[in-house]
Structure 1
Amino acid sequence: MVDENSLSAARKTKFLARKKAIELYLKGATDAVLQKKTGEKRSNIYRIITNRCLQRHSDGDIFGWRGALPHFRVTAYERQTAPVVHENGAGATGALKWLLERPQFKDLKDRFHKRILNNADSLAHPKINVQTIFRWFIDELRKAGLEDQKAWPFNSESLGYESVRLYIKKVLAEHPFLAMSKMGGPDAIAKAKASDGTRRPDFKLFDRVECDAHKLDCRMVVMVPSPHGGYEPRKIRRIWIIVIIDVRSRAVLGYHISLRRECSALDVLITIKNALSKWAPRTLTFCEDGYAEGAALPSAHSEVYLSACWNEFSVDGALANVCPRVEEPLLHIVGAKVIKPQDPTSYSSRRSKDDRPFIESFFRVLASGTMHRLSPSTGSSHEDKKGRDPEKIAAEVQFQLDYAEELLDVTIANYNATPHTGLGYRSPLAQMDFLSSKTKNRIRHADPELVKRMAGSRKVCTLLGGEYTGKRPYFNFENAKYTSEWLVQRPDLLGKKLWLQLDDETDARWATVSDSNGLIYGTVHVQPPWHRSPHTLYMRQAIRALATKRLLFLTGNRDPVQALIEYAEIHANKKLPVHPAYLQARRIMMTSTQALDEMKEPNFSVPDVMGEINRQAMPEELTKVSGASKKTKGTSPPPEPKPKSASQSAPLPKMRMAKTW
């Protein structure tokens, strides 16, 4: 087909005349009829059909109506005589092709093509370097004696550089996929294999989620106490954020900020746990009204989405995403199948970023809307710094990790409540409500107890000790000993292999014991010195490593977590980032302190049922006082009873003695 309207007026008139003449010729029109109606001779129409329209194009089809286009070259120009370059530079048209078609240069042509196409296995960069190939080609022609003969290209001013460049481009055009790999790399090949997204399957709500990790393009510091008084800024490594996003609604289900150098399977499990647990807004320090109206994660937006399960979990090929520690909880707790590139039957085996477009697009929005707008940002590339020193700026403005965590939480919550162009200007939460209203009783929910324990480490351990060794029964679990009182009463378990699992990944002081039949026996606690402060297994591993290097000294009377904090704050090198275990310790200690403060706050909103039970358990005198105070609500409280004398006080209970074993 030919777009006739794109031609100029003269070419369009000529083309339509030829087209009509070809149609009449095929119907058997005579030469007189053709000349009368179209002005074309029958012999010329025959030549156009045979020499042009029926010739094969480089795309594999015949030229067809394209061959009838006036001033359109069907065959390449072929020089018949040796090129003679004039003083003005003319006369060298087709010289390179004529040179390579000569019999004595047939071997040079093969080596020339091989050098263009087959240099991927060499030490050189696979991307084509025209200058390097041009110099090699000129040297080969010089060795053939063309320079002494003053033949082309040595009789031209630029040595035929433009002809060689265009010839290289033509050879690469004949091998498009190879050209993509050389010019664009593996990403260009993967991009070419991916579709444009118009034939994607129509997913329902929670059918598929995408998960990925993104390293934040920003430098941050933590403020540590100074031995000279006050606080000092210490830089930290760039942190990771792992996000889970629903494909159908574009809503972010949950996220986790990893403080490690690289993301681990535990970080992925914590992200999944956060997506299945209820989200709560943070207490902001940088502003008072950071959260927009209706901003939240789905678990806090509606009880329907709390612990909502999905069917497919799409990830990249990172080991942390596809290891058995992640796949097994996903299958048994969430009921989701992992879509991974390691599966040869999966479409994701082509390893293209277009296989997870929604999470990649979200990270672009997250980076451009938060970290890239801050002065300590490193940008997406080295050029984005524009002469700035992000580490120095972060220390000067004291951009702390706590501020970044608050900023990310606000940004993600506000994203869920912001109208989305891909959703008809509905927000992700509004789209989720709209879809869930159509599919009631379809959303699956995970068991909250299993979700609570899914990120805890699990290991088979042998119960050691006992009466024959003179030691209390204990387990060796993750570089520490665990024991409990009830183990002394179970000598039948000595020497057996039992499962130990942490119920809370942020507090490794307690573990649950069960057997291979699934029977739970009880809980065990860690022995000193690890029993003092909550900590993670990663923190314990880091403390053990520092103790092995004689940088820390652990004793039974010293808290290892406190020792880690003191070491990081006093002995850390200002030029090196703070240890990630120290950052975890700060986060856990802060969370533990907030939980204790909440437990200390009195709760006066006691239900009436509990009040009735308490009144039934009270002595008769206190019940009357309680009833009187309830009747006189709003008046002054009744006078306190006078204290009894020592003679009237009740006798103390009998002292209980501790058992000895």
Structure 2
Amino acid sequence: MSRVQTYRLLTERCLAVHPDGDVHGWRGLLPYARVKSYDRKAPIKPNAWGGGAVGALQWVFQSPAGRGFESCLREHILRKRSVLESSLRPRMAVFRWFLAELRDRGFEHRGDWPFNVEKRGYVTLSRFIDRVLAENPARARQLTSDDSARKAASGDGTRRPLLAPFERVECDAHKLDSRMMVLVPSPHGGTEPRMIHRLWVVVLIEVASRAVLGYHLSLRRECAAEDVLRAIRCALQPWAPRELQFGNAAYLPGAGLPAHRFPQLVGACWNEFSVDGALANICKRVDGVLHDVVGAKLVKPQDRASFSRRRSKDDRPFIESFFARLAADGFHRLSTTTGSSPVARRGTDPDAAALATQFQLEYAQELLDTLIANYNATPHSGLGYRSPLEQLDRLLAQGNFKPRRADPDAVRRIVGTRKLCTLLGGVKSGRRPHFNFANGRYSAEWLCLRTDLLGENLWLNLDDEDDARYATVSTQQGHFLGVVRAAPPWHRTPHSLYVRQAIRSLEKRRLLHLATNSDAVEALIRYAEATPSGKLPAHPAYLEARRILQKHAEQVAGQSMVSLSRMGSTSAEHDAVPAQRDRGIGTALPPMRRAQQW
């Protein structure tokens, strides 16, 4: 190679400016590397096959009629969108403006490009739009969405500050991608299946160790503040493995929640509670419990100084990653799954699969408990393939963390309701002293002797949220006075305030009739079970009533329903008993029926 050729390569190729702003350098010596854009000088004369129009857009920009058109086109591509206009502008809108502008400049009248080709220069214009957006990446992100610009301004997570154990907890709700059913008594004998709506699960995950602290399966159509409080209480109370119906080896060795593996973490509090801004998470009831019982700060998108945004998976990455894993390794592997989208069903019918397999609500509860417990004992790729419980054990072994523990009595009453009510009645009104609380009337014998309290504002505390039949009364100074009981029809079967509210709503719609001394919960159960199959899913209040009755039945029996079903019917004893018994000998009621008694 001669000296002249070497000098020409260095000056014309290596020292040429690259589109990234630097010189080409040794990149300019690569074979077939283009260091200069095509410069068309000849007029455009397309042939019959569409060829002969290379560099046509550049020729338009340099033509006398296209003077200043390039800057106008770039400005139109990068201009700010109007308020009502979508941020994702389609290229066809730019293409229509492109043709209209060239038509006004006389290109169509003269028969010049792009009006003498088949696609009117659409492909060329699309490539020019891509090049303009690539030259202005910051503006391109702003045109895409505000969230994209915010993500680009933030870091990649490598400089994220290290959090201590229980420094921050993420909480969110996830809708289970599965259909399920319940078995209700049939008037013709036996049981019949009834489909239910898709359920929500509220999960709390600890950020430093990725361990799930607690969860709650909501039986409502939408999550409420009570569901969030139940999940918080689950994280602060001891946990024990369930007695499963589908197997005895479902739990992995060492599986469970942190409170089960580490007794010193029972009631351990956290400092920050990060949520997505849903009303169930940021209401005053949840915020008050976090401040008074847990001593945590609520991190919500509504705060101006908060870093988080609504519906952004990057602001709560750990809880969103857990939900993806819960779906992929759990409910998406069942035949009853609905998938994360209608396309994910792949032609299957989850409703028919749920009825054919009789996938009941109780099975879903057991499956969810085992999936969450096994997750804490499964190696995690983000923790160096240590499980969340092993990572938490490693952090606790460093000796720098001393947990703050919540008051067990306050944790037990965390979901309870408290309201300031006036004691009504007396001699003047001719009525027994009573309180009006949550669509019910509460009274007791001792209130008839305390005429000095008439007209006073007293606190009514519902300590057990699953038994609204009883409430405690105390003064505003905190002195305990006694216990009051709800009047008919709320005096027999245990229920919650949500069930009572649903029953009142059905009664106002003339779908339910409550007699004077009837049992409102029994009326709800009869109404839900008498509804024709296939019309509507089972009422959420009916599912809640079933759960409450099962809980009280287990307390009465002293063991779970699974244990009772495994014991089976004592056929030998029943066969030995004569058919006719003495009327003086009482028969034991089933646990579910005993739960409804005084």
Give the structure-1-normalised TM-score: 0.78
Deviations 1:321-350 (A, max 9, x none): 111111111111111111111122122248
Q: How does 1:23-34 map to 2 (within 5 A)?
A: none
Q: Provide the C-alpha distance between the structure 1 equivalents of 2:520 and 2:344, rounded to a whole number of angstroms.
A: 42
- Whether 1:459 aligns to 2:419 is yes
Between 554-563 and 86-95, the greater mean CA deviation after superposition: 86-95
- Whether 1:207 aligns to 2:167 is yes
Aligned partner of residue 370 in structure 2, secondary structure? helix
Larger Rg: 1
Among 177, 181, 188, the alignment partner of 1:228 is 188
- 2:261 matched residue in structure 1: 301
Between 465-474 and 234-243, the greater mean CA deviation after superposition: 465-474
- Whether 1:254 aligns to 2:214 is yes
- Whether 1:531 aligns to 2:491 is yes
The alpha-carbon deviation at position 83 of structure 1 amounts to 2.6
- 1:40 matched residue in structure 2: 7
- 2:95 matched residue in structure 1: 134
Q: Provide the C-alpha distance between the structure 2 equivalents of 1:583 and 1:204, rounded to a whole number of angstroms.
A: 40
Gap runs ≥5 in structure 2: 562-598
The alpha-carbon deviation at position 114 of structure 1 amounts to 6.3
- 2:157 matched residue in structure 1: 197
The alpha-carbon deviation at position 247 of structure 1 amounts to 1.1
Q: Provide the C-alpha distance between the structure 1 equivalents of 2:533 and 2:349, rounded to a whole number of angstroms.
A: 19
Cα distance change of structure 1 residues 174 and 480 upon mapping to structure 2, 3 Å threshold: farther
CA contact (8 A) 2:379 2:386 kept: yes
- 1:371 matched residue in structure 2: 331
Q: How does 1:156-555 map to 2 (within 5 A)?
A: 156-180=117-141, 185=145, 188-349=148-309, 352-439=312-399, 442-555=402-515
- Whether 1:151 aligns to 2:109 is no
Letter in 1 for 2:553: T
Q: How many residues align?
A: 559
Letter in 1 for 2:480: I
Deviations 1:57-76 (A, max 9, x none): 766xx424649734766665
Cα distance change of structure 1 residues 94 and 427 upon mapping to structure 2, 3 Å threshold: same
Letter in 2 for 1:444: R
Cα distance change of structure 1 residues 264 and 528 upon mapping to structure 2, 3 Å threshold: same
Q: Provide the C-alpha distance between the structure 2 equivalents of 1:257 and 1:600, rounded to a whole number of angstroms.
A: 18
Q: Provide the C-alpha distance between the structure 1 equivalents of 2:260 and 2:67, rounded to a whole number of angstroms.
A: 74
Between 299-308 and 342-351, the greater mean CA deviation after superposition: 342-351
Give the CA RMSD over aligned residues.
3.1
Deviations 1:586-610 (A, max 9, x none): 1111111111101899xxxxxxxxx
Aligned partner of residue 52 in structure 1, secondary structure? coil
- 1:93 matched residue in structure 2: 54
CA contact (8 A) 2:184 2:194 kept: yes
CA contact (8 A) 1:191 1:352 kept: no
Give the structure-2-normalised TM-score: 0.85
Q: Provide the C-alpha distance between the structure 1 equivalents of 2:346 and 2:27, rounded to a whole number of angstroms.
A: 56
CA contact (8 A) 1:466 1:491 kept: yes
Cα distance change of structure 1 residues 278 and 106 upon mapping to structure 2, 3 Å threshold: farther
Cα distance change of structure 1 residues 352 and 95 upon mapping to structure 2, 3 Å threshold: same
Percent same amino acid at aligned positions?
51
Cα distance change of structure 1 residues 158 and 392 upon mapping to structure 2, 3 Å threshold: same
Deviations 1:134-156 (A, max 9, x none): 35534554565533422111223
The alpha-carbon deviation at position 158 of structure 1 amounts to 3.1
Q: Provide the C-alpha distance between the structure 1 equivalents of 2:419 and 2:63, rounded to a whole number of angstroms.
A: 75
- Whether 1:69 aligns to 2:31 is no
Among 522, 541, 544, the alignment partner of 1:584 is 544
Aligned partner of residue 415 in structure 2, secondary structure? coil
Q: Provide the C-alpha distance between the structure 1 equivalents of 2:66 and 2:225, rounded to a whole number of angstroms.
A: 60
The alpha-carbon deviation at position 430 of structure 1 amounts to 2.3
Cα distance change of structure 1 residues 508 and 365 upon mapping to structure 2, 3 Å threshold: same
Letter in 1 for 2:16: R
Deviations 1:287-337 (A, max 9, x none): 222112222112222321111111111111111111111111111111111
Q: Provide the C-alpha distance between the structure 2 equivalents of 1:421 and 1:280, rounded to a whole number of angstroms.
A: 27
CA contact (8 A) 2:309 2:315 kept: no
> Which structure's relative contact order is higher, taking Cα pairs within 8 Å and 6+ residues apart?
2
CA contact (8 A) 2:495 2:545 kept: yes
The alpha-carbon deviation at position 397 of structure 1 amounts to 1.5
Q: Provide the C-alpha distance between the structure 2 equivalents of 1:401 and 1:84, rounded to a whole number of angstroms.
A: 73
Cα distance change of structure 1 residues 506 and 104 upon mapping to structure 2, 3 Å threshold: farther
CA contact (8 A) 2:276 2:309 kept: no
